[in-house]
A and B are shown apart, each in its own frame.
Chain A
Amino acid sequence: MKMKESRFGRTNKIVNISGFTVIAAAWLLVASLNLFQKDRPEISEAEQRALAGFPEVNISTVVDGSAFRGIDNFVTDTFFMRDFLVKSQQKFSVLYGLDLITGDSGRIAYIPPAATGRQDEAGQIVTPDASGESPGSGGGFPEEAVPTFSEAGQLPETDYLKNGVLIYKNAAYSMADYYEAGARQFVAVAEQYADAFPHTRIIILPAPLSAMLLDGNEFKGALLDQRQSLLEIQAMCEATADSSTAVAETPGDLSAGSSPDTIRPAIGPKVRFVFVFDELWAHRGEYIYFYSDHHWTARGAYYAYRCFAGAAGFQPAGISSMKETIIGEPFVGGLYTFTGDERIKAFRDTLYAYFPVKPHTMKVYDKDWNIMEFGSSILTFGSNYSNFIAGDNPLTVINVPDNPEGLSILVIKDSYGNAMVPFLTEHYNTIYVVDPRHGSIKLREYFKNIPLTDILFLNHLNLNSTTSWVQTLQNLLAE
C-alpha cells in the first residue's frame, strides 16, 4: 500500500511538473516573442487605422496616468501576431450566436460581388438616373453592377446587428447614436474655440451615418432619427451667443453670397452649423455610402461639401468639372473587420475619386512629425478610404496657390473628413487638417501667428455626443 501511494505520489508530481512546465514554457515563449519582437507594426491593415505608439513618458504624463494607459494601449495594439489573433477572434465570435446551432439559417443571400446595388424603399435595385451627375455616369455603381431585381435573385428580408452594424438586404450599415447632454458639451467646447480664435468662424458639420439610408422602411422608428438629432445640434448652435462683436474682423459670413469676394463681417451665432442630412437624403439612391465600409463615399462627401460651401459663402464646384477616377480594384471595407461577418465580404466596394481642378500640394506629418509630401490630396496607389488625404494623420497641410492668400481653414476631423477635404481645395489657399486621434497638437501655439478664416469640426454624428471625443477637442486648446 505504501509502495502504491508512493508510486501515485511520483506520478502525480510528474504530471504536475510536466503540466506546469508546458504552460510556463509556452507562456514565457509568447511573452519573450512579444517583448523582443523587432519592427512592431504601426498600421493595422485589417482595421485600417494607425496602431498606438509608445507614449511620451515624462512627469506630467506619469502623474496624470496617461503614460501608463498609453503603454497599455501600445502593448495591446502591437502584441505579437495581433492581426492573426484579431482575425481569429472575429471568426470565433460567430460561435456566440444561433448560427452555431442552425448553420446558415437562410436569413441572408450571399450576393455576388458584381450584383451589389442598393435597393430603394420599394425593393428595387437603384439604377443610375439620366442626369449628368447620376451614379452611372458621375460615379455610382459600376456599369456591370446594376442588375435588375430578378437578376440579383431572391433577396430575402434580413436584419442583423453586431457592434453597431446592421446588415440589411445587400449592404452593411453603421448605426448612429446620439445623446443630448454630450452634444451640449460638444457645442460648449466649440464655443471655447470661438473665444480662443475670435477672428475665425467656427463651424460644425456632423456627418450622418449610413443607417440614414434605412429611414423610410421597416426600420423607421427603431433606428435613431439622425435628422432630428442633427436638428437638435443645429438648435444648440443657433442658441450660442451672438458673435457680432466677437468676430467683427471675421473675413467671412456663412450666410453671405456665393464667392469669397462677398464675404463680410458676420452677425450670427458663435458656432455655426451645416445641415447635410436633407442633401444626402435627396441623393440616397446614389452611391453615397460604401456597402462594406463605415464611411461615406467621395460622392457622399461631395454633397456634404456642397452644403458647406453654400453655407460658407462659396460657389460650390460642380462634380462634373472634376475628373472622376476609379482607383484600384474593388475592396472590402472596414465593416468586415469590425464585425468579422463573412457576409460582408460579398458587399464589395469601388473607390471613386473626384480630382480637384486646382493644382495643390500636400504635406503629411506622421506621429513622429516626419513629413511626407504629395502632389495631390488624393493618392492613386492602393485602394481604400486611406487614399483620401493619405488617411488619418496628426497634421496635414494642403497648399493651393491659385486661391487667394489668407483664406485658410483648419479642419478638425475624424476619418469622415478625409473624403471631403479634397473638395475644399476649390476655395482655400491653405487647408490644415488635424486628426486628434493620431497625435496631439497645441492649436493656440501652432496658430498663434497663422490667421485662420474658418475652423471646421467635421466628424460622424456619433462623435458629436461622445464625451471622450469632446474631451480630446478640448485638450487641443490647452495652453
Chain B
Amino acid sequence: MLFSSLLFIYIFLPALLICYFTVRRNSQRRAVLLLFSLVFYAWGEPVYIILMIGLVFVNYIFGLLINKTESLRERRLLLILAVIVDLCPLFFFKYLSFMTGIINGLFPVEISVPGVALPLGISFFTFQAMSYIFDLYRGTAECQKSFARLLLYISFFPQLVAGPIVRYADIEKQLEDRKMNIEDINEGLFRFTAGLLKKVLIANTCGRAADAILGADLNRTSVFGSWIGILFYAMQIYYDFSGYSDMAIGLGRIFGFRFKENFNYPYISRNVTEFWRRWHISLGSFFRDYVYIPIGGNRRYWARNAFIVWSLTGLWHGASWNFVIWGVYYGILLIAEKALLLRLFARLPGIISAVVSYVYMAAVTLFGWTLFYFSDNIIGGTGRFLGIGVQASEIFSIALLRDNAVILIVAAVFAAPVVPALSCRMKKILPENRYVIASRVAKTAFTAAGIALGTMLLAGSSYNPFLYFRF
C-alpha cells in the first residue's frame, strides 16, 4: 500500500485513527498499531510477511540470548551469528542473482538461480532488525522481552517499507509509552501533507519529465536533453524520498512517535561531505556507527574504511554495477575532499569559494545521479551527458522544460530552507504568542488545502511508484 494512494488516505488511515483513539490503554493501542501495520505490509506482500515476522522472531531470540550471556566473546559470537542470519534473506533476494552473474562471468561455470521478486522494504527492515541487535550488544538499549513490541518496532507501517531507518535505541522508550496531544496530531497531519504534496505534485511531475527524456531511445536524446532530464531526476529522487520520509515522520507523530529527520536540505550543500550529512541521514549514520567506526573509523586506515563503507552504501541501493560505481564514486570524492579538496576550497576568497563549491556540487551531484539512473547502459547513458554521438539539443527537451518549468522552479526553491527562513523571520516580527497562533492557523490551512490538492492529483494519477521501494 502506498501512502500516496486514495485507499490509504481515505480508508486505511481513518480506520486506523478511529480504532486507535477509541481504545485508551497503551497496550491496546500498541495492538491496534501492530495489527494495522501487518495489514499494511500484507497488502503489498501477502506472502513475504511471513519472512518479515520470521526475521523479527530470530532477532528476538538472539536478543534474549545476548542479554543472558555475560561473556563478551560469546556475545560477540551471537552478534556475528545474528548479523549473518539477518543478511541471508537480503543476500538471497537481492544479491544472489547479481553475485552468480559475476561468478558466471569470471569462471567457466553456468550457475543459474531462480528469479525471485524482492520483498517490499527488505533493505529497510533488515537494517532495523540489525540495529536492535547492535544497540543491545553495545549496551545502548535494553533487551526487548516482548515479541509483540519488537515486531511493532520493525513492522511499524510508517517506516516499514521505505525508511527512515529508525534505530531501536531511538524508539525504545516510545514503544513503552508515549505522550501525545492535539498539537502532535496537527503537526503530524501537517508533515504528512507536506510529504504528500512533495510526492504527488513535485516528484511525480519531475519523474514523468525525467522518464520522457532519459527513458527514450539513446540515439534520440540530445546533450541538452540529458542534462535537463537528469535535473528533473535529481528533483524527483529528492522530493520522492524526502516526501516519503516526511509522511513517515508525520504519521509517526500522529501516534506519538518522534522519528529523527532523514533529510536536511541536501541540495544546499557545498561539498560531498556535507551532502551526505544531509541526505538519507538515517542510512549514513547507520553505516557510520555500525560499520565505519567499528572497522577503524578515522583512527586507522580511514581511506580504506571509507571505501568499504561507500561500496556497501552503493550496493545497499541495488544489486547492480551502476549502484556499486555510484557508491565508489562518492567514496572517492569523500576521500579526495578529506585529503585535499576541502582545504583548497577553504583557501579561496569567500565569494569565489562559494561559487566554486556550488558549481562543483551541482556537477558531481548531477553526474552521480546519471550513474544512479542508468542501471542497464551506464556507458551509453553517461556518454550522452558528455555529448558522445548525440546532437546538442532537440525540440522535445525544450518543450518538456517549458511545460514543466514552473514545477522545476518550485522544486529548486523549496529544495533550499525557504520555509524555515520565512518562519524565523515571522518569529522575529511577531510577538511569540501571535506567532504560535498564526503559525498553527497557516499550517491548518495548508493541511486542508494540501489534502484536497493531493486528492485531486491522486484521483487521476496512475503514475505513482515510490523509487525507494525497490531498494
B459 contacts A76, CB within 8 Å? Answer: yes
Asked if B389 is at the interface (CB within 8 A of a chain A CB), the reply is no
Stretch at the interface among A21-29, A113-121, A199-207, A438-446: A21-29
Asked if B313 is at the interface (CB within 8 A of a chain A CB), the reply is no
B6 contacts A75, CB within 8 Å? Answer: yes
B461 contacts A89, CB within 8 Å? Answer: yes
Asked if A97 is at the interface (CB within 8 A of a chain B CB), the reply is yes
A76 contacts B220, CB within 8 Å? Answer: no
For B436-450 the 0/1 string (1 means CB < 8 A from A) is 110011011001100
Complex CA–CA separation, A245 to B354 (angstroms): 74
Q: Kindly identify which residue among A23, A64, A222, A223 contacts B444, using a CB–CB cutoff of 8 Å.
A: A23
Stretch at the interface among A12-20, A328-336, A356-364: A12-20
A100 contacts B406, CB within 8 Å? Answer: yes
* Known A-B contacts A63-B47, A97-B406; A23 and B189 likewise in contact (beta carbons under 8 Å): yes
Q: Kindly identify which residue among A31, A160, A162, A164 contacts B14, using a CB–CB cutoff of 8 Å.
A: A31
B189 contacts A86, CB within 8 Å? Answer: no
Asked if A282 is at the interface (CB within 8 A of a chain B CB), the reply is no
Asked if A380 is at the interface (CB within 8 A of a chain B CB), the reply is no
A30 contacts B460, CB within 8 Å? Answer: no
* Known A-B contacts A15-B441, A20-B186, A72-B7; A86 and B46 likewise in contact (beta carbons under 8 Å): no
B459 contacts A162, CB within 8 Å? Answer: no
Asked if A365 is at the interface (CB within 8 A of a chain B CB), the reply is no
For B433, give the chain A residue with the smallest CB separation: A8
Between A95, A162, A177, the greatest number of chain B beta carbons within 10 A of the residue's beta carbon is seen for: A162
Stretch at the interface among B139-147, B163-171, B363-371, B396-404: B396-404
Contacts of B43 in A (CB 8 A): 68
Contacts of B44 in A (CB 8 A): 65, 68
Complex CA–CA separation, A268 to B430 (angstroms): 83
Asked if B285 is at the interface (CB within 8 A of a chain A CB), the reply is no
A85 contacts B437, CB within 8 Å? Answer: no
A160 contacts B448, CB within 8 Å? Answer: no
A161 contacts B10, CB within 8 Å? Answer: no
A97 contacts B459, CB within 8 Å? Answer: no
B185 contacts A20, CB within 8 Å? Answer: yes
Asked if A315 is at the interface (CB within 8 A of a chain B CB), the reply is no
Asked if A101 is at the interface (CB within 8 A of a chain B CB), the reply is yes
For B407, give the chain A residue with the smallest CB separation: A96
B394 contacts A27, CB within 8 Å? Answer: no
B220 contacts A224, CB within 8 Å? Answer: yes
Contacts of A79 in B (CB 8 A): 6, 10, 459
* Known A-B contacts A34-B10, A63-B47, A161-B399; A222 and B456 likewise in contact (beta carbons under 8 Å): no
Asked if A471 is at the interface (CB within 8 A of a chain B CB), the reply is no
Contacts of B1 in A (CB 8 A): 68, 72
Q: Kindly identify which residue among A92, A221, A223 contacts B456, using a CB–CB cutoff of 8 Å.
A: A92
Contacts of B236 in A (CB 8 A): none
Complex CA–CA separation, A20 to B404 (angstroms): 34
* Known A-B contacts A15-B441, A23-B447, A88-B456; A222 and B186 likewise in contact (beta carbons under 8 Å): no
Contacts of B404 in A (CB 8 A): 96-97
Asked if A50 is at the interface (CB within 8 A of a chain B CB), the reply is no
B459 contacts A85, CB within 8 Å? Answer: yes
Between B1, B440, B443, B460, the greatest number of chain A beta carbons within 10 A of the residue's beta carbon is seen for: B460
A161 contacts B212, CB within 8 Å? Answer: yes
Complex CA–CA separation, A31 to B443 (angstroms): 22
Contacts of B395 in A (CB 8 A): 159, 218-219, 222
* Known A-B contacts A20-B185, A23-B447; A160 and B399 likewise in contact (beta carbons under 8 Å): yes
Q: How far is the CB of A36 from chain B (nearest CB, A)?
A: 12
For B440, give the chain A residue with the smallest CB separation: A15
Q: How far is the CB of B360 from chain A (nearest CB, A)?
A: 30
Complex CA–CA separation, A102 to B212 (angstroms): 24
Contacts of B185 in A (CB 8 A): 20
For A33, give the chain B residue with the smallest CB separation: B10
Asked if A62 is at the interface (CB within 8 A of a chain B CB), the reply is yes
A86 contacts B444, CB within 8 Å? Answer: no
B46 contacts A68, CB within 8 Å? Answer: yes
Contacts of B14 in A (CB 8 A): 27-28, 31
Asked if B183 is at the interface (CB within 8 A of a chain A CB), the reply is yes
Complex CA–CA separation, A28 to B13 (angstroms): 10
Complex CA–CA separation, A159 to B397 (angstroms): 11
For B451, give the chain A residue with the smallest CB separation: A27
B186 contacts A96, CB within 8 Å? Answer: no
Contacts of A8 in B (CB 8 A): 433, 436
Contacts of B394 in A (CB 8 A): 222
Q: How far is the CB of B411 from chain A (nearest CB, A)?
A: 11
Complex CA–CA separation, A122 to B32 (angstroms): 70
Complex CA–CA separation, A368 to B436 (angstroms): 56
Q: Kindly identify which residue among A17, A82, A177, A221 contacts B459, using a CB–CB cutoff of 8 Å.
A: A82
* Known A-B contacts A23-B444, A72-B1, A75-B7; A161 and B403 likewise in contact (beta carbons under 8 Å): yes
Q: How many B residues have CB within 8 A of the partner chain?
A: 52
Asked if A11 is at the interface (CB within 8 A of a chain B CB), the reply is yes
B460 contacts A85, CB within 8 Å? Answer: yes
Q: How many A residues have CB within 8 A of the partner chain?
A: 55
Complex CA–CA separation, A157 to B99 (angstroms): 53
B403 contacts A98, CB within 8 Å? Answer: yes
- 8 Å CB interface, B20-52 against A: 43-47
For B460, give the chain A residue with the smallest CB separation: A86
For B455, give the chain A residue with the smallest CB separation: A85
Contacts of B6 in A (CB 8 A): 34, 75-76, 79
A96 contacts B460, CB within 8 Å? Answer: no
Between A19, A28, A89, A101, the greatest number of chain B beta carbons within 10 A of the residue's beta carbon is seen for: A19
Q: How far is the CB of A373 from chain B (nearest CB, A)?
A: 33
Contacts of A28 in B (CB 8 A): 14
Complex CA–CA separation, A11 to B444 (angstroms): 15
Q: Kindly identify which residue among A15, A17, A30 contacts B10, using a CB–CB cutoff of 8 Å.
A: A30
Asked if B205 is at the interface (CB within 8 A of a chain A CB), the reply is yes
Asked if B182 is at the interface (CB within 8 A of a chain A CB), the reply is yes
Contacts of A162 in B (CB 8 A): 403
Asked if A90 is at the interface (CB within 8 A of a chain B CB), the reply is yes
Contacts of B399 in A (CB 8 A): 159-161
Contacts of B455 in A (CB 8 A): 30, 85
Contacts of B205 in A (CB 8 A): 96
Contacts of B458 in A (CB 8 A): 76
Q: How far is the CB of B277 from chain A (nearest CB, A)?
A: 32
Complex CA–CA separation, A419 to B7 (angstroms): 36
Complex CA–CA separation, A160 to B403 (angstroms): 8
Q: How far is the CB of A168 from chain B (nearest CB, A)?
A: 10
Complex CA–CA separation, A161 to B220 (angstroms): 15
Complex CA–CA separation, A79 to B460 (angstroms): 10
Complex CA–CA separation, A27 to B44 (angstroms): 25
For B189, give the chain A residue with the smallest CB separation: A23
Q: How far is the CB of B413 from chain A (nearest CB, A)?
A: 14
Q: How far is the CB of A97 from chain B (nearest CB, A)?
A: 4
For B437, give the chain A residue with the smallest CB separation: A15
Contacts of B212 in A (CB 8 A): 161, 164
Contacts of B264 in A (CB 8 A): none
Asked if B375 is at the interface (CB within 8 A of a chain A CB), the reply is no
For A53-94 the 0/1 string (1 means CB < 8 A from B) is 000000000111100100110011001001001101110100
Query: 8 closest A-B pairs (Cβ-Cβ)?
Result: A19-B444, A85-B459, A86-B460, A97-B403, A161-B399, A31-B10, A75-B7, A8-B433
Chain A residues close to B by CB (< 8 Å) = 8, 11-13, 15-17, 19-20, 22-23, 26-28, 30-31, 34-35, 62-65, 68, 71-72, 75-76, 79, 82, 85-86, 88-90, 92, 95-98, 100-101, 159-164, 177-178, 218-219, 221-224
Chain B residues close to A by CB (< 8 Å) = 1, 5-7, 10-11, 14, 43-47, 182-183, 185-186, 189, 205, 208, 212, 216-217, 220, 394-396, 399-400, 402-407, 433, 436-437, 440-441, 443-444, 447-448, 451, 453, 455-461
Between A and B, 7 residue pairs with Cβ closer than 8 Å are A20-B185, A22-B444, A23-B189, A31-B14, A65-B45, A82-B460, A160-B403
A34-B11, A160-B399 given. 20 additional CB < 8 A pairs? Answer: A15-B437, A15-B440, A17-B182, A20-B182, A23-B189, A23-B448, A27-B14, A31-B10, A62-B46, A72-B1, A72-B5, A75-B7, A76-B459, A92-B453, A97-B402, A101-B405, A101-B406, A159-B399, A161-B212, A163-B208
